[in-house]
DNA sequence: CCTCGATGTAAACACTTGCTGACTTGACGA
DNA sequence: TCGTCAAGTCAGCAAGTGTTTACATCGAGG
């Protein structure tokens, strides 16, 4: 199905984002790199590293396969680039200061619940996907652990707190919860969570996350 | 690494369970089938469907590769068999009646937190892994949705309840939370959750699950 | 003892995978 | 106009994939 192409370049059934597609008119290295990373992130996040082929990615990005190796050396290199970009974006977002725990939770839920055409949730999913490459996996784990500390901090944790261990654990359980929900909505598509609206999800999720994060503050 | 073998049969670094290994003394179809399913479930759950090769599975089970196709027709057939067995085991376990919500939660946490050498958590993880095969994926989704109803029932849901929708959603969010934690512990190995003890996890997890499931009863 | 079906083995097949090297195309300054 | 070089294309290789086919081996029944 849909894989009749051997070396072709057609968009396939998982096209690059519209704006990218419009701008692309041939020769622009930076644009090509971005298109590849964008397509790769979607594939890696939804299908997993191993199940994604470089030809799929190239087709999605509307770009020749060989350019992946030109710009990122290897499939693993491309994965690493995806990981780094996700890591960065997550970092800048989380660094915005927040007033209350509820505000932190609200923002976390936003990540989870965003419309499926935006690839916010996919960024989170990418953090779960192991590539088998040691280097990329190290980045992945580091990012996840960094994200844990950021969430804990946002929830009121100070690094001189006596039971830092328990607090980091709680923060990471909150992340685990979020990841689980994204997984069930995006990858394994299971009802009723998959097609639940943001409004329906917010209430219960807030309660669960509050149960995990509220004890951090005091 | 460790895949120097091409068609060999040695146990590799992910051997079948000891007892199976001891019993196996050659020609027993039923035993061979069971060994294959057992090995396959571990691989599929931890590495994913696509990343797992039939030769790995065969090596883990201490069995010739061709026997997978003899007994299960194809890799997908083996995956389906894994799914069915997991579905069955989950069913019989969950059908034991429980008194209070806290007891339900306690049992759910047991699934998540069980020692890593038991493959209880892997059964859960398997429910997240999509094979690309329509049939197996259908089984997977059905199992998850069935599990959702079972959990809701155990938490006090009656099918004539007016807001069934919201209740099933809460139950499934509880499952999502559990799956997220297992994922972080088993597949993406990230600290501190990965090496947290059962005792450390139980407290926070109970609070989170209670926030999700407690409103079901009333 | 020999036969025959069930069980297990080994080698190969057809196909996909990631990747490479030689090539063409386009833009731009001299 | 031409030379130059980055950007993009193309065909193909080597390794790995799931699967099949032909063969070996065991255990029981005639």
Give residue-wise pLDDT tens across range A15-73.
444 444 444 556 888 889 999 999 999 999 988 899 999 999 999 999 999 999 999 99
Tell which residue, A154, A129, A130, has the closest CA to residue A217.
A154
Tell which residue, A198, A211, A104, has the closest CA to residue B105.
A211
Residue B64, classed as helix, strand or coil, is coil
CA–CA gap between residue A147 and residue A62 (Å, rounded): 33
Q: Which of residues 65-84 of B touch strand C (CB under 7 A)?
A: 65-67, 70
Instruction: Give me the residues of chain A with pLDDT under 50, please.
Output: 1-23
Instruction: Give me the residues of chain B with pLDDT under 50, please.
Output: 1-23
Tell which residue, B123, B105, B107, B110, has the closest CA to residue B174.
B105
pLDDT on residue B217: 76
Q: Flag whether B9 is in a domain.
A: no
Q: A156 and A64 in one domain?
A: no
Task: Determine the structural domain holding residue B158 and report its residue range.
Answer: 85-217
Count structural domains, chain B. 2
CATH number at residue B27: 1.10.10.60
A65 touches strand C (CB under 7 A): yes
A166 in B contact zone (CB under 8 Å): yes
pLDDT on residue B175: 95
Partners of residue B51 in chain A, C-beta under 8 Å: 48-51, 132
pLDDT on residue B12: 41
Q: A38 and A106 in one domain?
A: no
State yes or no: cis peptide before B193, omega within 30 of 0: no
A205 contacts: CB under 8 Å, gap ≥ 6: A109, A112, A113, A177, A181, B173
pLDDT on residue A19: 43
Which of A50, A72, A94 terminates a domain? The answer is A72
Partners of residue A200 in chain B, C-beta under 8 Å: 165-166, 169
B203 contacts: CB under 8 Å, gap ≥ 6: none
Distance A68 CA to C22 C1' (A): 18
Q: Flag whether A81 is in a domain.
A: no
Residues 42-101 of chain B with CB under 8 A from chain A are 47-51
Helices and strands (H and E) in chain A: how many: 10, 0
Q: A67 and A140 in one domain?
A: no
Q: Which nucleotide is nearest to B63 (CA to C1')?
A: C8
B113 contacts: CB under 8 Å, gap ≥ 6: B121, B198, B201, B202, B205
């Amino acid at each position: 199905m849909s894989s009749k192409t051997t070396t072709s370049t057609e968009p396939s059934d998982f096209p690059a984002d519209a704006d990218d597609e419009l701008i692309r008119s041939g020769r622009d290295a930076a644009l090509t790199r971005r298109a590849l990373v964008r397509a790769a992130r979607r594939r890696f996040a939804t299908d997993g590293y191993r199940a994604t082929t470089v030809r799929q990615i190239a087709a999605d990005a509307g770009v020749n396969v060989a350019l992946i190796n030109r710009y990122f050396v290897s499939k693993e290199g491309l994965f690493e680039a995806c990981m780094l970009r996700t890591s960065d974006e997550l970092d800048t977002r989380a660094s915005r200061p927040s007033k209350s725990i509820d505000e932190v939770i609200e923002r976390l839920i936003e990540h989870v619940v965003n419309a499926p055409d935006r690839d916010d949730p996919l960024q989170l999913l990418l953090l779960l996907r192991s590539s088998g490459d040691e280097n990329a996996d190290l980045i992945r784990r580091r990012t996840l652990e960094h994200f844990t500390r950021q969430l804990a901090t946002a929830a009121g944790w100070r690094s001189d707190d006596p039971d830092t261990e328990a607090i980091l654990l709680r923060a990471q359980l909150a992340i685990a919860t979020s990841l689980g929900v994204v997984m069930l909505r995006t990858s394994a598509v299971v009802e009723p969570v998959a097609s639940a609206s943001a409004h329906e999800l917010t209430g219960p999720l807030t309660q669960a996350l509050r149960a995990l994060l509220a004890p951090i503050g005091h």
